[in-house]
Structure 1
């Protein structure tokens, strides 16, 4: 497919997303199934155009004075790719499979459209209703952080130290041109192409042999800050597919007792194969569905050294990777997540022994899901828990990381602009004796 034909396809996919209010991944998959002539390179390029347009949806609509899929793509080409009107006109030629030619109005908007007077939520490309919460998190750095949140995310892997050191993996993965991540001690960063895509890491022989897992540096750091140690009893309460379970197993060097569970057995499905590939040891407790559903962790209450709670959240910290998610998010979804977070925190509180710790993690930038959730647990437990000083915890576990963090009332916040990671929040609480 030619570049203009790819633009036509991206406009078609964006129209489907808008018309049916569906995730971008679903619309792209359906487009690919209906256009089997398109090769993998074409599909990847179209996906990049779609996601880049969603990253700049509000600002592109502002400079174009219109929010149609066509206008959004044109505005994105101006803002994200820096193309001038003559270059855009060459792509919008109306020739074979190309979008219709630019109108005089569109040319004018490309030349004169500006974000100078745009409100912050437009310049930062986020829904207007989330702006007050993000302003609390970022303060005077709000616009810089929103712009960083609109850029493409890097491609990071975590070296599995059960099988290789980072230095050994770095040498063995020389063909990927990887480099150490700025902060995570076992992370490597893989260069991505101009289309925002990286190599197919999941088919590399080293991945199949368990050398590494694909994991954002922020997620790696969140696991590290749990402080899990060999010989301890550790529960990964919201284990999902097992990314942090694998991190914990490596931190513990397969020495101790590691239990992984999740309320949704479907999310746990990939964990078994991932553990096998990594050579990681963990006990998986899968809940039963329907009327036979029981508490799978009741026998552990009051005995656990550490509980990691990678809580269900809005995912606002991952909007670099999932830009369509921010436009589908509604206030009701935030409220639902806050309720779920309280439930899992209460369950975690029952598990830990006196002196045991709960590490609460979200990939959210919303204070309602972060400090407020921790404050809620403190209030509900009536003094049974205290907050572990986040700065002290970082000094003990990752002393060089502190300048790249925002410390909050109860924890710490990573962010795209400051830390260069997804927006993870981490807080640790200790049960009093």
Structure 2
């Protein structure tokens, strides 16, 4: 397929998204099934173009004077990828497998479209209804933070120290040109191609043998701040597929006991195979069993409980750009209730003197500082650990500079730290 044909396909898929309001990944999968002539490389290029358009949807629409699928793809090519109007015009005139030629208004918008006078939510490429929430977190910096969330995310790997060190991983993946991550001492960053794709690292021997796992640097830092120690009793309460579970296991070096639980059995399903590949031998998976309390025997015994809470995922918009446009206020309210319940459940498991580490991949105060404040009001036997102290305790004192404005947690974001957005609060039980 030609670049023009990729653009035409991207317009078709975006039109389908507009008509049926569903995840981009689902629409792309259905388009691929209906167009078998498109190879894997073609499908990847189409997906990359669509995601580029969705990341910057508001700012593209403002500059183009239109939010049609065609305008969004034109804007992604012109403003996101820096293609000149002449090159776009030529590609859009290449016959029946290309979109219709540019009109005068489209040419003018590509040449002179700007964000002058645009409101914060347009310059930051986020839904207007979230402006007040992001202003609580970032104040006048919210447009810049939103714009950083609209950039492509890097491809980061975590080195599994149960299998080797970062130098070993660098040697085994040398052909991918990885670099050490700036903040995580166990991370690697692999360059993307010009169209935003990464190499198939999950097919690499280093991954198949458990030496590396795909994990954003921010997620690595959240697990490192939890500072699981060898010999401890550790609970990963909202384990999901187990990314942070495996990171905690590596910190524990096979000593102590690690328990992984999630309320959704399906999310836990991959963890057994992942743990085997990573050579984790001190893990118990506590799957849900109807209404049974599968963690009752751990009440008041855990040295560390990690709550990687269900959240809106605002901090991962770089990777899931369509999610920000599908997000609704009622989803935020629902997540807040789930977060309160998870914190209360974690509190009963934490021993006196133990740590409860609350993590979200959100940047909204409602899901972060507000939830911690409400929890501490309910549970005066817990206290927030100052961010600098938490960073030093994790052996990463430089992370103290990422303290939130309230001074009671750490806050990472693409603009602040070059990572996905994460909130990390360490709460100690008296």
1:311 equivalenced with 2:312 (yes/no):
no
Instruction: Write the mapping of 1:316-355 to structure 2, written as runs, cut at 5 A.
Output: 316-355=314-353
Instruction: Write the mapping of 1:244-283 to structure 2, written as runs, cut at 5 A.
Output: 244-281=244-281, 282-283=283-284
**Structure 1 counterpart of 2:285:** 284
Q: CA deviation at 1:312?
A: 0.2
1:405/1:419 contact within 8 Å kept: no
Distance (Å, rounded) in 2 between the aligned partners of 1:169 and 1:112 = 47
Distance (Å, rounded) in 1 between the aligned partners of 2:76 and 2:207 = 35
1:417 aligned counterpart, secondary structure: helix
Q: CA deviation at 1:94?
A: 5.6
TM-score for both structures, normalised by structure 2: 0.98
* Residues 5-54 of structure 1 deviation map (CA, whole Å, 9 limit, x = unaligned): 00000000101111110000000100111111101110010000000000
Q: CA deviation at 1:65?
A: 1.4
Q: CA deviation at 1:423?
A: 0.4
1:274 aligned counterpart, secondary structure: helix
Report the CA distance shift for 1:173/1:405 in structure 2 as closer, same or farther (over 3 A).
farther
2:52/2:80 contact within 8 Å kept: yes
Distance (Å, rounded) in 2 between the aligned partners of 1:376 and 1:406 = 17
TM-score for both structures, normalised by structure 1: 0.97
Distance (Å, rounded) in 2 between the aligned partners of 1:278 and 1:379 = 40
* Residues 313-346 of structure 1 deviation map (CA, whole Å, 9 limit, x = unaligned): 0000000111000000000000000000000000
**Structure 1 counterpart of 2:412:** 414
Q: CA deviation at 1:409?
A: 3.9
2:387/2:407 contact within 8 Å kept: no
2:388/2:403 contact within 8 Å kept: no
Instruction: Write the mapping of 1:7-406 to structure 2, written as runs, cut at 5 A.
Output: 7-93=7-93, 95-281=95-281, 282-289=283-290, 293-381=291-379, 383-397=380-394, 398-406=396-404
1:10/1:46 contact within 8 Å kept: yes
1:157 aligned counterpart, secondary structure: strand
Distance (Å, rounded) in 1 between the aligned partners of 2:318 and 2:376 = 32
Distance (Å, rounded) in 2 between the aligned partners of 1:328 and 1:29 = 18
Q: What is the number of equivalent residue pairs in this alignment? A: 428
* Residues 281-336 of structure 1 deviation map (CA, whole Å, 9 limit, x = unaligned): 310010124xxx21110111011111000000000000011100000000000000
The alignment's C-alpha RMSD in Å is 1.1
Distance (Å, rounded) in 1 between the aligned partners of 2:96 and 2:203 = 36
Q: CA deviation at 1:4?
A: 0.2
For structure 2, the 5+ residue unaligned runs are: none
Distance (Å, rounded) in 2 between the aligned partners of 1:263 and 1:161 = 28
Report the CA distance shift for 1:407/1:250 in structure 2 as closer, same or farther (over 3 A).
farther
* Residues 341-392 of structure 1 deviation map (CA, whole Å, 9 limit, x = unaligned): 00000000000111111000000000000011111111112x1111111121
Distance (Å, rounded) in 2 between the aligned partners of 1:94 and 1:106 = 17
Distance (Å, rounded) in 2 between the aligned partners of 1:401 and 1:342 = 27
2:387/2:400 contact within 8 Å kept: no
2:372 aligned counterpart, secondary structure: helix
1:86 aligned counterpart, secondary structure: helix
1:390/1:407 contact within 8 Å kept: no
* Residues 235-294 of structure 1 deviation map (CA, whole Å, 9 limit, x = unaligned): 0000000000100000000100100000000100000000000001310010124xxx21
- 174-183 vs 78-87, which moves further: 78-87
